[in-house]
Structure 1
Amino acid sequence: MEGCSAVDGWRGFSFYHTWGSRGEFVLAPARVSRSFPHYPIMDLAKIKHRAVIKFLCKEGASYKEIHKRMVAVYGTTAPSYSTVAKWAADFKRGRVSLEDDPRSGRPADATDPQTVSQVEALIVEDRRIKVAEISAELGISQGSVFTIIHEHLGMFKVSARWVPRNISTQHRQQRLVSCGELLKLFNVDPADFIARVVTGDETWLHHWDPETNLESMQWKHKGSPPPKKFRAQSSGGKIMASFFWDAKGILLTDYMHHKTTITAEYYARLMEKLQQAIKDKRRGMLTKGVLLYSDVPMDNDHLAQTAICECGFEQLDHPPCSPDLIPGDYYLFRHLKSFLRGRRFASDKELIEVTETWLERQPENFYFTGIESLKDKWSRCIEVNGHYIEK
């Protein structure tokens, strides 16, 4: 078939692959047999997705590129990032088959390289993901997840985000230099600094986020049975929320549906929205100069940096992989998620409405305290020689 090439590996059959007129990946059997068995449509969808992953792997695309392209074509039916990463890793190791491996009836080693790769992919996608959520997603015990994260990946949590346990000397030095420069700038005129700072970050919000053991504690009579606590299941839905705020309150909120990706183009548009929000809500602030303290997801991307400059924002230096130094991580998200935890939401719309109401009801001193706390965080980072600070 001219203009097409074959992807092998499904029940002994070869498939030609080509991109359809609407951008979809089309499979057609290279040879047809009357004995060709019937398989459920769901199996065919999985096989098609795996064939796409295999094809894009051969093109040299990264895991994130593959996932992004599949989401653009298949939308909500696209496989998750962890599924893409798992199959892409298998194909790069030389795997041929597009089928699931046969089950022997005996559970596989939960800490094998393949499972470790899947856990790592989930963490890369969502740095705040919980052990229980990984367990539910992959079908392995929470103990196995804990072992993989701490012993195989060498990670631990800071401000509810997974970070490398062994912080490098270079990273510590970078944190020390950044905090020192920021403190100098702060101390020139603390009131002016606090009035000009705008901070922002993004986080996943879940349709259901189970309570922690501490939050679910109940009073009971001596000798009475303890309350039943049901095993945590996956949330069933989530959205990516971006918040930008200053010492007076929320300036901008933006939400992205699950399986969409933050790109430089998206971030550039977000900066334009933020600029307009500041014009509408903080008259004169742009004239004085906005100090943007944000954990930019693509800090080396030219498009994102250009948008920040064109909006007239002065970007403060924020060391990478430092959630303990961003107020969104260690302050705003912690309070918001504590409020949302244990509640169930039927839709993205309901979750967004409750979130917006909570943000609006917080008094001005709540946001002021979050911005003001930066000085203490920077000072303590210097005191511990650049190591992570948890509390």
Structure 2
Amino acid sequence: MSAESSNLSNIEHRPVIKYFVKKGKTPKEIFEDMLSVLQESAPSYTMVKKWARLFQQGRESCEDDPRPERPVTVVTEENVRKIEKLVLADRRIKLWQIAEELQISKERVGEIIHEHMNMRKISARWGQKMLTLFDKQRRLQTIKDFLELVGDNIDEICYRIVTVDETWVRQYDPESKQESMQWTKKGKRPPKKFKVQKSASKLMATIFWDSEGVLLIDYLPKGTAMNGQYYANLLAQAREAVVQKRRGKLSRGVLFLQDNASVHTARVSRQALKDTGFSEIDHPPYSPDLAPSDYFLFSNLKKELRGRRFVDDNQMKMAVESHFTAKKRNIFWAV
């Protein structure tokens, strides 16, 4: 069948549906058959179901029911209830689907939904992870355990915590649109900002820090994989940094906080952590509220480095070191 001959109107679809109903086909079979032949001009599944139901009930006419001479408003309490029922049954339903189901215009459907039902269609917000019941219970238990550990000694416990995380540092990371905002007089044209790609040259920095500042920064050599053995070596270096920079901290007991990355949970890493003598604080999966590196340490670092160009990795490392050296100790305690 040619494209021109398959381009049927809505009213021409109905005799076809009636014919298939007489042959005993189901609405789904009718829809699939018509879709395979008519393709884009095929009727919707909702329309096929509606007319198939009417023909099964004994309807013979394929024409629309006659309308009264005087226009009657369709914004009635009955239609409001019907539309509300359809929307609550399927919150992703489209206006045209409701319009076909109730045989009213799409404009009136929109009017009822927006003005009489006071509803609007919005996109779902992205979440990090849909937690299972077990995940939620574990998070709750972790919080309870931590509160029990803290008791009345919040300052003492925070002093004992050492945390770690990894982040990428680039030789050039362009400013975001929000960061480039500037005050401009009314009537003046806004400044232009051209899209610039991030630098391909980057280093992974692993940073150990506590309430007094940064203890250790390690940059993963290019061409080297971050694995359990590499991380185990870093833990030994972190212990030495605590001994050298935080006199008495090790004897008071270090509480170590890390996320559940695979290199952190590897067997060799677990053994290395045990050898350091650190006590690990439980960190449930997908718990950003327990990861201060993400919302404090890294965000401030990236904000200062963004928009600056570094000629090589050494200059970039110096900028990172300078950023942390310039920070006063009370800044880290204020987290």
Once residues 126 and 313 of structure 2 are traced to their aligned partners in structure 1, the CA distance between those partners, rounded to angstroms, is 30
The residue identity in structure 1 corresponding to 2:232 is: A
Query: What's the secondary structure of 1:218's corresponding residue?
Result: coil
Once residues 351 and 283 of structure 1 are traced to their aligned partners in structure 2, the CA distance between those partners, rounded to angstroms, is 30
Contact in 1 for aligned 2:174/2:198 (Cα 8 Å): no
Q: Residue 266 of structure 1: CA displacement?
A: 0.7
Task: Determine whether 1:327 maps to 2:305.
Answer: no
Q: Residue 314 of structure 1: CA displacement?
A: 0.6
Aligned partner of 2:301 among 326, 332, 336: 336
Deviations 1:280-319 (CA, angstroms, capped at 9, x unpaired): 1111111111110112523432110110011111111011
Shift in alpha-carbon separation, 1:156–1:238, aligned structure 2, 3 A: farther
> Percent same amino acid among aligned pairs?
39
**Structure 2 match to 1:91:** none
Aligned partner of 2:314 among 342, 349, 361: 349
Q: Using the TM superposition, name which of 232-241 and 293-302 deviates more.
A: 293-302
**Structure 2 match to 1:237:** 201
The residue identity in structure 2 corresponding to 1:348 is: D
Q: Residue 235 of structure 1: CA displacement?
A: 1.9
Aligned partner of 2:268 among 279, 299, 303: 303
TM-score (norm 2): 0.60
Contact in 2 for aligned 1:237/1:258 (Cα 8 Å): no
The residue identity in structure 1 corresponding to 2:244 is: D
Query: What's the secondary structure of 1:183's corresponding residue?
Result: helix
Once residues 319 and 349 of structure 1 are traced to their aligned partners in structure 2, the CA distance between those partners, rounded to angstroms, is 36
Q: Residue 155 of structure 1: CA displacement?
A: 8.7
Aligned positions of 1:77-96 closer than 5 A: none
Q: Using the TM superposition, name which of 252-261 and 315-324 deviates more.
A: 252-261
The residue identity in structure 2 corresponding to 1:357 is: S
Q: Residue 258 of structure 1: CA displacement?
A: 4.8
Deviations 1:355-389 (CA, angstroms, capped at 9, x unpaired): 1001011111111112xxxxxxxxxxxxxxxxxxx
**Structure 1 match to 2:157:** 193
Contact in 2 for aligned 1:201/1:296 (Cα 8 Å): no
Q: Supply the RMSD in Å over aligned alpha carbons.
A: 2.0
Aligned positions of 1:1-391 closer than 5 A: 156=126, 163-164=128-129, 166-258=130-222, 260-298=224-262, 299-370=264-335
Once residues 342 and 302 of structure 1 are traced to their aligned partners in structure 2, the CA distance between those partners, rounded to angstroms, is 40
Query: What's the secondary structure of 2:265's corresponding residue?
Result: coil
Contact in 1 for aligned 2:207/2:214 (Cα 8 Å): yes
The residue identity in structure 2 corresponding to 1:297 is: A
Contact in 2 for aligned 1:247/1:367 (Cα 8 Å): yes
How many residues align? The count is 212
Contact in 1 for aligned 2:215/2:238 (Cα 8 Å): yes
Query: What's the secondary structure of 1:251's corresponding residue?
Result: strand
Q: Residue 179 of structure 1: CA displacement?
A: 1.6
Once residues 125 and 284 of structure 2 are traced to their aligned partners in structure 1, the CA distance between those partners, rounded to angstroms, is 18
Once residues 243 and 193 of structure 1 are traced to their aligned partners in structure 2, the CA distance between those partners, rounded to angstroms, is 20
Query: What's the secondary structure of 2:214's corresponding residue?
Result: strand
Q: Residue 321 of structure 1: CA displacement?
A: 2.5
Q: Residue 232 of structure 1: CA displacement?
A: 2.9
Once residues 168 and 155 of structure 1 are traced to their aligned partners in structure 2, the CA distance between those partners, rounded to angstroms, is 18
Contact in 1 for aligned 2:203/2:220 (Cα 8 Å): yes
Once residues 277 and 249 of structure 1 are traced to their aligned partners in structure 2, the CA distance between those partners, rounded to angstroms, is 12
Once residues 189 and 230 of structure 2 are traced to their aligned partners in structure 1, the CA distance between those partners, rounded to angstroms, is 52
Contact in 2 for aligned 1:238/1:257 (Cα 8 Å): no
Over 4 Å off, 4+ runs: none
Deviations 1:29-72 (CA, angstroms, capped at 9, x unpaired): xxxxxxxxxxxxxxxxxxxxxxxxxxxxxxxxxxxxxxxxxxxx
Shift in alpha-carbon separation, 1:234–1:214, aligned structure 2, 3 A: closer
**Structure 1 match to 2:54:** none
The residue identity in structure 1 corresponding to 2:206 is: S
Q: Residue 328 of structure 1: CA displacement?
A: 0.6
Query: What's the secondary structure of 2:217's corresponding residue?
Result: strand
Which residues of structure 2 form unaligned runs of 5+? Answer: 1-122
Query: What's the secondary structure of 1:306's corresponding residue?
Result: helix
Once residues 260 and 219 of structure 2 are traced to their aligned partners in structure 1, the CA distance between those partners, rounded to angstroms, is 16
Contact in 2 for aligned 1:290/1:314 (Cα 8 Å): yes
Which protein has the bigger strand share?
1
Query: What's the secondary structure of 2:138's corresponding residue?
Result: helix
Contact in 2 for aligned 1:202/1:242 (Cα 8 Å): yes
